[in-house]
Structure 1
Amino acid sequence: MLQPNLLSDVKTLIAAAKENAIRSVDHYRTLLYWHIGERIFNEEQQGKDRADYGSYLIKYLSKELQPEHGESFSSRNLNWYRQFYKTFPIVNTLRSQLSWSHYRTLLRIENNNKREYYIAETVKNNWSVRQMERQINSQLYERLLMSNDKESVLAVARNEKLPTTPQEIIKDPMILEFLGLRRESAYYEKDLEQAIITHLQDFLLELGNGFSFVARQKRIHLDGDEFYADLVFYNRLLQCFVVFEIKTHKLTHEDLGQLQMYVNYFDRVEKLEHEKPTIGVLLCADKNNAVVKFSLPENNKTIMASQYKLILPTEEQLLNELRKEIENQNNQP
């Protein structure tokens, strides 16, 4: 009698083999483009006394190669290959997990630390090109820098250290453009919560490393009174529950008190002995950092507020926020 898992196991093996074959072909294509870029660059150096020699080489190669080998050898693409070599001059540093489409997107990033961060995160999380582009477009690196130093952000990305605080994982602001909600539309907290559940995979991607979904509207019964925590996740890197309370208005100190009660409940009732203290995140439409600071104890490490945005901000907008955050930190006694 045939085993019930036989067919599914064979299908899984076939799919894995196809995926490995595609990855292998794309890796060798990436290496080909790197070597072409190297050859073009080295040839340029031989004629460096001519200002237009590089442009001449590109046009010549494109004219000769494109009719036989197609659009991959257009002048535009040959320029990409040259830039590819100049940006990654050591072939052994290329990651086999990244496709040429990944690298072409990364070439648009001029900052070395920023580019290194996205390479490490893409490899670690197996991001598709679309997922990586979304993280770049939402300025993930800049958002993490708002609450962390550059060395810490890179160390976590490279797996050189595990995150130890919520600030090393939780972004502020969170970019939720994938929910499809319009800023000017009237909506309730339940609408935002439902949109997050509907787009849970995208929300987990926005949350970052190590998150898994636990519960929605978690019922908390306290001596006859009932409360409901909006969303509960677990983070395996921090080894703790992460409770989200959603507010579509500007944060108030009462909101923080409500979230603190939920965190206390999880710490005293749900948390196992080996797990770390629960983290509470107040996801709000707007916030006053001073209200957050003075509503919570000075040694607070488990409650934080994160503002959500329903559209992708420009890099300049986020950099302005980063500058203000740095100034606020410098002005603190």
Structure 2
Amino acid sequence: MKVKRSLIAEIKNMILQSREQAIRAVDNTRVLMYWNIGKRIFEEEQAGKERADYGSFLIRSLSEALQPEFGSGFSVRQLERYRQFFRTFPIASALRTQFSWTHYKLLLSIDNEAKREYYILEAVKSNWTARQLERQINSQLYERLLLSNDKESVLAVARGEKVPSNATEIIKDPTVLEFLGLKQKPAYYERDLEAELISHLNDFLLELGHGFSFVARQRRIHLDGDEFFVDLVCYNRLLQSFVLFEIKTHKLTHQDLGQLQMYVNYYDRFEKQEFENPTIGVLLCADKNDAVVKISLPENNRSIVASKYQLYLPTEDQLLKELKSELDKLDDIN
């Protein structure tokens, strides 16, 4: 007599779920232990604050007493981190149970409170693993969104206080595609770049942001005997609209914008349902001239976005330079 495969699969699933829950429970206990250690260090430090060097003396002494028995988790650096953990997150009941200690270590590296809050909210909403959170921080997600949005709007969307109303509130510029692992070289074929995006679809959707799902690749449009193909079709449930992606491995031209506008018009007239919002078109291009984009599109444009893609993570200096450039533009307008 053979045991049913469905029963074996069900029991295997129970075992895996139990293991995952046990690991999560152990990690939650560890997080609370580090928080309580940080709290006691801070309280003891405050009790002896009349001595200017008491804080560093206390941590050094604790490390000398604890590290030989309990290991490197109680080095001077780690004990300082536990104190910082308590001071940054002073309410134990507010700690996120879905966050591991690795999540919190990454968040503690962020000094800006608004920036840290944004990553917390997005990590909870999108259920990011620690590795995904690290990738989003390293790719400067917060700064890239600020290039097209104000800080309060970004945080309002993350908190769920505001529903995104147009593409610029969720489409990043630049779009970072370092996960493809492609080396920098003068040119790529568009079909090759598209194929790499499909083979790394989960990473691509993570880069796109919350609410995106994949619909189709090379979606054919037939117009009175002529055929056209949309590179990638996605859907965003927050915007309740189709999002069409065209990939251009050259510098963007006004003809590229016209082509994408045609695709957007087609989807609005033949694919979009009455309850859905207008279609959005995104041009992923190797380079672009913002003035050409602005002049080529209507003044009230809300449907076409041009985003320069990068095959490597931007440096902090690059992002600060771009942010300063945007602020200077605003100052000129005002």
Q: TM-score, length-normalised on structure 1?
A: 0.96
User: 1:164 corresponds to which residue?
Assistant: 165
Q: How does 1:73-84 map to 2 (within 5 A)?
A: 73-84=74-85
2:313 matched to which residue of 1? 312
Deviations 1:101-153 (A, max 9, x none): 11111111100000000111111111111111110011000011111111111
Deviation of 1:90 (Å): 2.0
Q: Partner residue of 2:187?
A: 186
Which residue of 1 is the match for residue 129 of structure 2?
128
Shift of 1:59: 1.7
Residue 219 of structure 1 is matched in structure 2 by: 220
What is the alpha-carbon distance in structure 1 between the residues aligned to residue 238 and residue 57 of structure 2? 53
Equivalent runs, 1:229-240 vs 2, <5 Å: 229-240=230-241
Asked if 1:100 corresponds to 2:98, the answer is no
Paired letter, 1:326: L
- Cα deviation digits, residues 199-243 of structure 1 (max 9, x gap): 111111100001111111111111110111111111111111100
Distance (Å, rounded) in 2 between the aligned partners of 1:49 and 1:332:
52
Secondary structure, in 3 states, of the residue corresponding to 1:255?
A: helix
Q: Displacement, 1:4?
A: 5.4
Is the 8 Å Cα contact of residues 63 and 76 (structure 2) preserved in structure 1? yes
**For 2:136, what is the secondary structure of its paired residue?**
helix
Structure 1 runs (4+) deviating above 4 angstroms are 1-4
* Identity in percent: 67
Report the CA distance between 1:13 and its aligned residue.
2.6
- Code of the residue aligned with 1:16 in structure 2: it is Q
C-alpha contact 2:284 2:309 (8 A) present in aligned 1:
yes
- State which drifts further: 51-60 or 302-311: 51-60
Aligned length: 333
Q: What secondary structure sits across from 1:218 in the alignment?
A: strand
Q: Residue in 2 aligned with 1:257? A: 258
List runs of 5+ in structure 2 lacking aligned partners: none
Cα distance in 1, alignment partners of residues 273 and 253 from structure 2: 31
Task: Give, as a single letter, the amino acid of the residue that structure 1 aligns with 2:87.
Answer: K
Counterpart residue identity of residue 201, structure 2? L
Q: Call closer, same or farther: CA 1:2–1:163 in 2, change over 3 Å.
A: farther
Q: How does 1:1-333 map to 2 (within 5 A)?
A: 5-332=6-333
Superimposed CA distance per residue, residues 154-185 of structure 1 (whole angstroms, 9 cap, x where no aligned partner): 11112222211111111011011111222224
After TM superposition, give the deviation of residue 328 of structure 1 in Å: 2.4
C-alpha RMSD over aligned residues: 1.6
Equivalent residues of 2:187, 2:249 under 8 A apart = no
Deviation at 1:318, TM superposition (A): 0.8
Alpha-carbon distance between aligned partners in 1 of 2:8 and 2:239, rounded to the nearest angstrom: 39
- In structure 1, how many angstroms separate the alpha carbons of the residues matched to 2:259 and 2:333? 27
Secondary structure of the structure 2 residue equivalent to 1:5: helix
CA distance in 1, matches of 2:143, 2:230: 30
* Equivalent-residue separation in structure 1 for 2:9 and 2:170 (angstroms): 37
Per-residue deviation, residues 273-308 of structure 1 (Å, max 9, x unmatched) = 211111000111111111111111111111110011
How many Å apart are 1:25 and its aligned residue? 1.5
Give the deviation of 1:12 after TM superposition: 2.2
- 63-72 vs 304-313, which moves further: 63-72
Q: Look up the equivalent residue of 2:98 and give its one-letter code.
A: Q
**What amino acid is aligned across from residue 317 of structure 1 in structure 2?**
Q
Tell whether the 8 Å contact from 2:285 to 2:306 is kept in structure 1 after alignment: yes
Aligned-pair CA distance for 1:89: 1.7
Cα distance in 2 for partners of 1:7, 1:274 equals 44
Task: Give the Å deviation of 1:94.
Answer: 1.3
Normalised by the length of structure 2, the TM-score is: 0.96
CA deviation after TM superposition for structure 1 residue 70, in Å: 2.1
Give the SS at the match of 1:101. Answer: helix
Unaligned runs of 5+ in 1: none
Distance 1:329 1:189 in 2: 35
